[in-house]
Amino acid sequence: MSSDPADSQPSQEGIPTLPGTGQPGTLQPSSIDAIAPGPRVEAGFDPPTAVVWFGVIGGGIAWALAFVAGYGFGLAHCFPTGTSLALPLSAWQIAAAAAALVVALASIATSVWIFLRTFRIGDVAGMERRGDGAPPPAGRLQFLAMVGLTVNLLAIAIIVMIGVGAPILHVCQQS
């Protein structure tokens, strides 16, 4: 690569020596590896990551477990061989749903708390800026909280549906 007179800016440097190729170079690795770190607003409010994520997925996981348990109990009990469960099937199903509901409520409470802590009433545009793209951690927290609110809402709906629906039906009536 020829160094041409046209390039006479102060920031102009030659090409550094590359690993392997024996070309002359003067560029300083430190300057070429320098970067401004990602912008970050210092956190006034920054709860532990685990808490935040419990607020996001707690209800979902609870539903998943209740659902697997209910399906498992149902199959175990209603298979031709009929494994006995000590308690009636519906009791197990209600218990699983109830337990899940408690967890889901705890989870939604968490996300509501975080949402309120990170949410400021402002003009529409302000909300928009907060809603997407506000600097972390506040912006990220509010984002996750909003997600958690919705996830848990749906999780609660579905837990109630199975908790009520399954016991109403005849035990082991083949569909």
Partner 1 sequence: MSTVPGGPVDRDTPAGAIHLARQRRAKPNGWWGMVLFLCSEVTIFGTMIATYFYLQFGVHHWPPRGISPEKVAYPSIATGVLLLTTFTMWLAARAAGAGARRTVLLMISLSLLIQGAFFGVQVALMSSDLSRFSPRSTAYGSIYYTLTGTHDAHVLVGCLLGLAVLWFVARRGLTDYWSTATRALALYWYVVNTMAVFVLLTTLSPSL
Partner 2 sequence: MATVIRPRGQQYVDLLDRVWGERKGLVGWLTTTDHKRIGIMYFFTALAFFGAGGVEALLIRTQLFGPNGHVLSPAAYDQIFTMHGVTMIFLFVIPMTTGAFGNYLLPLMIGARDMAFPRMNAVSYWIYLASGIFMYIALAQGHAPNAGWFDYVPLASKTYSPSINIDYYGWGLIFNGIASTATSINFIVTIFKLRAPGMSLNRMPLFCYAFLAVSFALLFALPSLSVAALFLELDRQLGFQFYTASHGGNPLLWQNLFWIFGHPEVYIIILPAFGIATAIIPTFTKRKMIFFPLVALSEILVAFLGFGVWVHHMFTVGYPTATTVYFAAASLIITIPSAIQLFAWIATIMSGTPEFKTPLLFIVGFILFFIIGGLSGVMLAAIPFDQQVHDSYFVIAHFHFVIFGAAVFPILGGMYFWFPKVTGRMYHEGWGQFSFWCTFVGTLVTFFPMHIVGLMGMVRRNYTYPAGLGFSTLNALETVGAFVLAAGLVSIVANLLISYHKGAPAGNDPWEGDTLEWSTTSPPPPYNYPVIPTVTSPYAMWDTADRELDNKRLERGEGVFALGHRTPGSTVQDAEVDELLEMPPHSIWPPVTALALAGVFVMLLLQHYFIALGFAAVIALTLIGWHRHGAQP
Partner 3 sequence: MVKPDPHRPRRAATRYAAAVVVVGGAVVVSGCGRQSIISNKSPQAHGITVLWWWMLGVAAIVFAGAVTFMVIGFVKRRTPGMPIFGRHELAAQMLVLVFGIGIPLAVLIPLFGVSDVYLVQQTSAPLPGTTKLTINVIGHQWWWEARYENGRAVTANEIHIPARTRVNVVATTADVIHSFWVPQLNRKIDMIPGQRNRVLLYADHPGKYRGQCSQYCGLQHANMAMYVIAQPPAAFRAWLKHMATRAATPRTAQARAGERLFMNSQCASCHFIGGTPAQGTVGPNLTHLESRSTLAAGTIPNTRRWLADWIHNPQNIKPGVRMPDLGLSWAEVHTIAAYLEELK
Site for partner 3 in 134-173 (CB under 8 A): 150, 153, 157, 161, 165, 168-170, 173
Residues 71-100 that bind partner 3 (CB under 8 A): 80
Residue 95 Cβ vs partner 3, minimum distance, rounded to whole Å: 20
Reference 51, options 158, 135, 145, 131; nearest CA is 145
Query: 43 vs 102, which CB is nearer to partner 2?
Result: 43
In sign, the C-alpha dihedral spanning 43, 48, 53, 56 is negative
Q: Residue 46 CB: number of other CB atoms within 10 A? A: 13
* HSE-CB of 23 using CA atoms within 13 angstroms: 12
12 vs 84, which CB is nearer to partner 2? 12
Residue nearer to partner 2 on the CB measure, 32 or 87: 32
What is the spatial distance between Cα 171 and Cα 30, in angstroms, rounded to a whole number?
Answer: 72
Residue 47 touches which of partner 2, partner 3, partner 1, none (Cβ within 5-8 Å per kind):
none
DSSP 122-172: --HHHHHHHHTTPPTTHHHHHHHHHHHHHHHHHHHHHHHHHHHHHHHSPTT
By CB under 8 A, name the one of 22, 31, 44, 86 that touches partner 2: 31
Is residue 74 near partner 2 by the rule CB under 8 A? yes
- String of contacts with partner 2 for each residue 114-153, x by CB under 8 A: --------------x--xxxxxxx-xx-xxx-xx--xx--
By CB under 8 A, the residues from 77 to 116 that bind partner 2 are 78, 89-90, 93
Q: Is 11 helix (H, G, I), strand (E, B) or coil?
A: coil
CB of 143 to partner 3, least distance (A): 14
* Residues at the interface with partner 1 (CB under 8 A): 29-30, 33-37, 72, 75-76, 79-81, 83
Give the C-alpha separation, 30 to 55, whole Å. Answer: 42
